[in-house]
Amino acid sequence: MQPPNAPNGRGKSNFLRIFLVLLLIPILAIAIFEALGWPFMRVPFERFASEQLQRTVRISEPFQLRLIGSVRLKVGGLWISAPPEFGVPHLVSTNKADIELRYADLYQLKHSDLLRIKSLEVDQIDARLTRHQDGQATWSFKRDPNRPPRPFPNIEKLIATKGYAEVVDAINEADLKVNFNTDEGSTNTKSASSIRAVGTYGQKPLEAVLATNGFLPVATKDKTAPPIQSKGWADYVGLRVDFDGTVSDLLGQRKIDGKFSAHGPSLSILGNFTHSVLPVTDKFALNGTVKKTDEVWNVNIAAARVGQSDLSGEFRYDASQPTPSLNGELRGKRLYLSDLFPAFGTRRDDGSVVKPPKGKIIADRPLDLPSLNKMDANVVVRLDYVDLGNLFARPITPFNADLSMDKGKLALAKIDAHVAEGSLAGLISIDAHQAEEAPSAVPPEWRIDLQWKNIDLEKWLKVSADRKRQAKNKGDKDVPPAYITGSLHGRTKLSGHGSSTRELLSTLDGDVSMFIRKGTISHLLIELLGIDLAQSLGIMLTKDEPLIMQCAVMDFDTRNGTVKPQVALIDTNVTLLLIDGKINLPEEELDLRLTAKPRNVSPFTLRSPIRVKGTFLNPDVSPVKGPIAARVAGGVALAFLNPLAAILPFVDLGSTSEEPSPCKQTLARFSKPAR
C-alpha cells in the first residue's frame, strides 16, 4: 500500500532534477564557451572597450577570451585610435596580443582613473605617444568632460618580442624613436629586456640604451614593484652618461638607485639633460651615486673634475614644486679660478670656445641668466684651495661661502676667504628675476661688495721668471723680492646691469679703494717710471734696494664703465709717483699718465711723465714729449687733495699719536705752496 504523500515525493524529485538541469545548462554553456574562447564576444568586447576608452578599438581574429579567475584575452591584433587632432595613425597597434586583467582592477576602475593591466604580451607593438604643450596627450583617455584625463594604463608585466614607439613631447622638446624588446630566456637563462631611443631631446641629438634583467621596467607602475637590475647609457651633444643600478615603478614614483658617471664638454649640457641649472664650464668628468623617488633626487658626487679643478659634493634636487630646488654642499680639494671663466662668456653652452672681437681680450657672449628663474638653490661652498693664476704665489686657503638662488636672484654671500695671511669677505649677487607680465623688461642687475685686509703682498705676488733669471746671473742665491711688498687693504662697491660681460662693464658704477701699509717698492721701478736712465742703469748693475712707501693709496671712481683715479699715489723718501687719466672698460682702452716727482726739489717739479695708451691687448707705453708746464704738474697734485683727505679715515685706521699716519704727512706736503 503506497503512502498518501508519495506523489508529493515524486514531485519534489522531479523539481530537483529540473533545477539541476537548468543549473547545469548555463554552467555547461559557460564551460563550452570558455573552452571555445567566447568567439561571439569579439564585437561586444570591441564595443565595450571603445565606450570605456572613448576611442575606436579594433580586435582582430583569432579571438580567444577566458573569464574564469581573471579576464584573459588572446587576439590576432589590437588597434586603438588616437585623437584626430594629433595627426598620428593610432595610439597602439599590436600583432598577437595576450592581455590579462584582474576583476578587482576592473571593479576599481569605477572609482579610479587608472586602468591596471596585469600582463601584456605581444609579438609586435607600435605606439605613438604624442603630448602637446597644453598637456593633452594621445594616451589621455577622457571619461567625462568634468573629470581629468585618464592616465596611461599601468602594465605590470610587458613582454614585447619587437616593440616600437614614436615619442613626441612638446613639453620636454623630445622627438624620439624607441625600439624595445624582451627576451624571455630559457630554463638556464633569465629573461632580459632592452630599450633603445634615438632622436632629439631639447632640440639636440640624443641616443640612449637601457638593458634590464626581467620585464620592461618602463611598463611598471607599482609602489611595491621590486627593483630591477638595470644598466644603461646616454649620449647627448657630446655628453656621455652611464648608469648601473636598479629601477622600478618608472611610470609612478620612478625609483632609481645606483652608480653613475658622466663626462662632457660643459656642465651646462648636463643641466639641460637633467632639467637643472648648471654653469657653462670647461670639460668635466664626474662619478657618484644617485637615488631617486618620485621627484626627489639625492646625488652624492664622489669625484668631479671640471677643467683642472677637483671637486665633490652632496645634493638634494626636489622637482615636485613648480620651481625645483637644489640643496647641498659643494666641496673642493682644489679650484682653479680660470675654470670659472667659461661661466662669464669665454665658452658657449656646448663647451666650444668663444673668440673675443678683433683687438679685444674680453669675450662678448650673452649669458643665460634667465635660466636662474628655473630653479631655487641653497648650497654651502667649502673649498680647501683656490688657485688664482700664474701671477700669484699663494692660493686662497680656504674659501667658504653660501650660494643661493631665489626667484632668479643668485648670490654668493658670507664670503670668508683667506690668502697670504690676509682675508677677503663680502657679497657678489646677480638679480635676473623676471616678472611673468614683463619677462624681459629689466636687464639683470649685478652687485659686488667686497672687503680685503692684511694681505701680505710679498707672499701673495709671484716673482717673475725673468727676475729670478737676472738674479741668478748676478750670482744672487736668494729669490729676489717682489716689486711691491706690504699689507694690502681695500674695498670695492660696484653695481651694473646687463646680460653679457661687456654689457655689465659698460654700465658699471661704484668705487674701488685700496692702500698698502708698511710697504716697499722697487727702487729700480721708481727710477724707470721717472725716466732717469742713468740712475736706473746704476741700480740694475748693482742691487735693487727697495724703497719704503710712506703712503700708497688708490681710489678709483667708476661711472658707466669708465674708471678714473680720484687718488692714485705712491710716496717714498725719494720720489712721489702720481697716476691720473682713465680706463674705458667696455672698449678696453687705456689713457693713463704716470708722473714721478723727486722729493729733493719742489713737489711741483716733475720729471717726464709716462703716458699709457692703447688697448688691454696692445698697450702703448711712452714718455710724454716736450716740456711739462709747472701749472700742469700742480694741477695733477692739487686734484688729489680733496679725494685724499676724504679717504684718509679709511686708510688711517689704527694710526696713533706715537705713530702718525704717513698719508697725513703726504697730504700736508700737497698742501704746501710751490716754491
Question: pLDDT per residue over 634-658, tens digit each?
Answer: 555 555 555 555 555 655 544 545 5
Phi first, then psi: give them for residue 483, nearest 5 degrees: -60, -35
Query: Could you tell me which residues come within 8 angstroms of residue 671 by beta carbon, excluding any fewer than 6 positions away?
Result: 641
> Residue 258 has what pLDDT?
95
Are 459 and 420 within 8 A, CB to CB?
Answer: yes
All 3 cell numbers of residue 340? 670659472
Rounded Cα–Cα distance for residues 352 and 282 (Å): 9
Ranked by mean pLDDT, the top range of 8-12, 412-416, 662-666 is 412-416
| pLDDT tens, residue by residue, 89-118 | 999 999 998 989 888 887 777 677 677 788
> Residue 199 has what pLDDT?
95
| pLDDT tens, residue by residue, 602-628 | 444 445 678 889 998 898 888 776 555
**Angstrom distances, CA of residue 414 to CA of 396, 425, 449:** 15, 7, 11
User: Which of 10-19, 208-217, 283-292 is least confident?
Assistant: 10-19
Are 590 and 604 within 8 A, CB to CB?
Answer: no
Rounded Cα–Cα distance for residues 137 and 54 (Å): 14
Q: Which of 522, 656, 530, 660 is nearest to 601 (CA)?
A: 530
Query: How crowded is residue 340: how many other Cβ atoms within 10 Å of its Cβ?
Result: 18
Residues paired with residue 304 on neighbouring β-strands, in sequence order: 286, 311
* Bigger pLDDT: 358 vs 182: 358
The whole-number average pLDDT for the span 529-537 is: 46
Residue 539: pLDDT band by 50, 70, 90 thresholds? very low
Peptide bond into 398 cis (omega under 30): yes
> Residue 433 has what pLDDT?
83
Secondary structure (3-state) at 88:
coil
> Residue 145 has what pLDDT?
61
Residue 463: pLDDT band by 50, 70, 90 thresholds? low
Are 86 and 60 within 8 A, CB to CB?
Answer: no
* Bigger pLDDT: 463 vs 491: 491
pLDDT exceeds cutoff 50 at 536: no
Rounded Cα–Cα distance for residues 385 and 337 (Å): 10
| pLDDT tens, residue by residue, 553-577 | 899 999 999 999 988 888 888 778 8
Residue 401: pLDDT band by 50, 70, 90 thresholds? very high
Phi first, then psi: give them for residue 60, nearest 5 degrees: -95, 150
Are 161 and 180 within 8 A, CB to CB?
Answer: no
Percentage of the chain exceeding pLDDT 90? 35
Which amino acid, residue 260? Answer: F
Confidence (pTM): 0.78
All 3 cell numbers of residue 444? 639683470
Are 157 and 119 within 8 A, CB to CB?
Answer: yes
pLDDT exceeds cutoff 90 at 161: no
Query: 458-467: long-range contacts (C-beta < 8 A, 24 or more apart)?
Result: 458/482, 458/485, 458/486, 459/393, 459/394, 459/420, 459/421, 460/392, 460/393, 460/394, 460/419, 460/420, 460/422, 460/488, 461/391, 461/392, 461/393, 462/390, 462/391, 462/392, 462/393, 463/393
* Bigger pLDDT: 273 vs 140: 273
Query: Could you tell me which residues come within 8 angstroms of residue 91 by beta carbon, excluding any fewer than 6 positions away?
Result: 55, 80, 81, 82, 127, 128, 138, 139
Q: What is the DSSP string of 634-646?
A: HHHHHTTHHHHHH
Largest distance between two CA atoms of the chain: 167
- For 404, the enclosing helix (H) or strand (E) is strand 399-406
Are 376 and 324 within 8 A, CB to CB?
Answer: yes
CA atoms within 13 A on the CB side of 501: 19
Are 540 and 655 within 8 A, CB to CB?
Answer: no
Please, is 26 exposed, middle or buried when counting C-beta atoms within 10 Å of its C-beta (0-12, 13-18, 19+)? exposed
> Residue 297 has what pLDDT?
92
Query: How crowded is residue 571: how many other Cβ atoms within 10 Å of its Cβ?
Result: 25
> Residue 609 has what pLDDT?
77
The domain spans of the chain are: 33-159, 172-176+186-365, 366-507, 545-675
* Bigger pLDDT: 412 vs 189: 412
User: Which of 81-90, 243-252, 275-284, 534-543 is least confident?
Assistant: 534-543
Phi first, then psi: give them for residue 223, nearest 5 degrees: -60, -30
Percentage of the chain exceeding pLDDT 70? 76
* Bigger pLDDT: 540 vs 246: 246
pLDDT exceeds cutoff 80 at 406: yes
- The 10 Å CB-count burial string (b at 16+, else e) for 353-388 is eeebeeebebbbbebbbebbbebbbebbbebebbbb
**Secondary structure of 31-81 in HEC code, one letter for each residue:** HHHHHHCCHHHHHHHHHHHHHHHCCCEEEEEEEEEECCCCEEEEEEEEEEC
Which amino acid, residue 664? Answer: K
> Residue 533 has what pLDDT?
40
Are 93 and 81 within 8 A, CB to CB?
Answer: no
Give me the count of residues in the chain.
675
